[in-house]
Amino acid sequence: MFQVKNLNKSFQGKTIIKDMNLDVEDNEILSIVGPSGAGKTTLLRCITGLEKVDSGQFLLDGEEIDPTDDSKSVIGVVFQDFGLFPNLTVIENIILAPQLVLKKSKEEALKEAKELIDKLDLSGKEDLYPYQLSGGQKQRVAIVRTLAMHPKIICYDEPTSALDPKLSEEVGKIILDLKKQNITQLVVTHDITFANQVADKVKEVRPFKEEG
C-alpha cells in the first residue's frame, strides 16, 4: 500500500498542492485527473522525487520512504515524452541501468529484457535506435526500461497524449496487465475516458485557489 500524507508544494509562494492525501493499494491503479495547471504533473514529480516537497510524507507499506533518495528508489516513471536515450539501441536503453545500478551480469540483464520485450510486443526492435520507432513503440520501450528496474510503483505522465485512440487502448491493456504483477500504478492524465478505462480509483485534482 502506497500513501501520500499531507503533501504541500508551492513554487515561489504560489501554492500548487495543498494538504493532498492519497491511498493506493498494491496492484491498484489510481488515475489522477484534472485540467491543465491543476498540479497533476507536479504531484507526480513530487512522488517520483524529481521535485522536493515543502512538507508531507510518503509511506510504502506503512514505512516512510524518501523518493529523492536514489540509492533505494522503488518508483519508476514513464515520462510523457518517454525520455529514451537516442544514442543507445532499444536493448541498450533497457539493460543499461540493470547492469550499472543493479549490478546484473549482461546475460542476466539481457535475459530479463528479452522476456519483457516479448511480452510488450517489441520483438525484432532490439537493435533499432529510438528515432526508428513509432510513438507507441517508444512508449513500450520506456515501460520495459522502467520494469527492468523492478519498481514497486510505476507512474505514468499523460500516457495517451502522444497516441491515437487505438494505441491508447493498447497501453491501457498493458497497464491493466501489469496489475497482476504486484505493481502499484499511478496514471496522470487529462483523458477521463482513459482514466475510467484503466483505473480502480480516480482522484480528481483542481487548480488550487488562494482563499480570500
Partner 1 sequence: MQYILEILPSLFSGVVTTLEIFALTIVLSIPLGVLFSLALTGKSIIKVIFEFYVWIMRGTPLLLQLIFIFYGLPIIGIVFPRFEAAVIAFVLNYAAYFAEIFRGGFQSIPKNQFESAKMLRLSRWQTLRNIVIPQVFKIVLPSIGNEVINLVKDSSLVYVIGIGDLLQAGNIATARDVTLVPLILVAVFYLVLTAVLTLVLRKIEQRFDYWR
Note whether 131 and 112 are within 8 A (CB).
no
**DSSP H or E run through 30:** strand 29-33
d(CA 152, CA 96): 19
Cβ at position 147, least distance to partner 1 in Å: 12
Cβ at position 69, least distance to partner 1 in Å: 10
Judged by CB, which is closer to partner 1: 63, or 131?
131
d(CA 145, CA 139): 10
Considering only 26, 56, 83, 152, the residue that binds partner 1 (CB under 8 A) is: 83
Query: What interhelical angle do 106-119 and 135-147 show, nearest 10?
Result: 130
Binding to partner 1 by residue 103, rule CB under 8 A? no
Stretch that binds partner 1, among 14-22, 45-53, 133-141, 171-179 (CB under 8 A): 45-53
Partnered with residue 185 across adjacent β-strands are: 29, 154
Stretch that binds partner 1, among 18-26, 68-76, 104-112, 169-177 (CB under 8 A): 68-76
Binding to partner 1 by residue 149, rule CB under 8 A? yes
Binding to partner 1 by residue 76, rule CB under 8 A? yes
